[in-house]
């Protein structure tokens, strides 16, 4: 395998660590996986405000729970591959900027695609970048 772009947890859970010999830490361009639960908007709008609130409140509670589970899985996988002798590559500030620049066309494409659907893509990207900056340490 020459390379993969996946969450760290796949190194252990999917056993990629057995064939991957080096890992580049690129958290500054974002996580590789987005997981979410969706519902048909028309069906959502048929629910009473009280039921919508139950969904929203319960879902909000689980954001931190799921985030911690993924963080724990990533930490476990890092320990696992370190035990296998996996080399970790930390990007320099200059190289990080190159990686960030390389993903800009993807971000711009997303923004344009969802704008055509009357969705605020620029706002979503701004929030995404803020979250990346907050959590990339």
CA distance 99 to 93: 10
pLDDT in tens, 16-51: 999 999 999 888 777 767 777 889 999 999 999 999
Mean pLDDT across 108-112: 93
Structure tokens at 76: 């476990």
Question: Does residue 26 contact residue 95 with C-beta atoms inside 8 Å?
Answer: no
pLDDT in tens, 61-80: 888 898 899 889 999 999 99
């Amino acid at each position: 395998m020459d390379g993969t772009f996946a969450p760290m947890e796949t190194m252990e859970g999917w056993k990629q660590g057995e064939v991957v010999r080096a890992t580049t830490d690129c958290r500054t361009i974002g996580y590789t996986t987005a997981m979410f639960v969706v519902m048909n908007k028309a069906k959502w709008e048929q629910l009473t405000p009280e039921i919508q609130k139950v969904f929203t409140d319960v879902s909000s509670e689980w954001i931190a729970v799921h985030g911690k589970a993924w963080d724990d899985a990533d930490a476990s996988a890092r320990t696992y591959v370190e035990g296998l002798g996996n080399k970790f590559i930390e990007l320099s500030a200059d190289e990080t900027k190159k990686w960030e620049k390389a993903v800009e066309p993807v971000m711009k494409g997303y923004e344009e695609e969802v704008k055509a659907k009357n969705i605020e893509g620029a706002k979503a990207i701004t929030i995404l970048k803020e979250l990346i900056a907050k959590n990339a340490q």
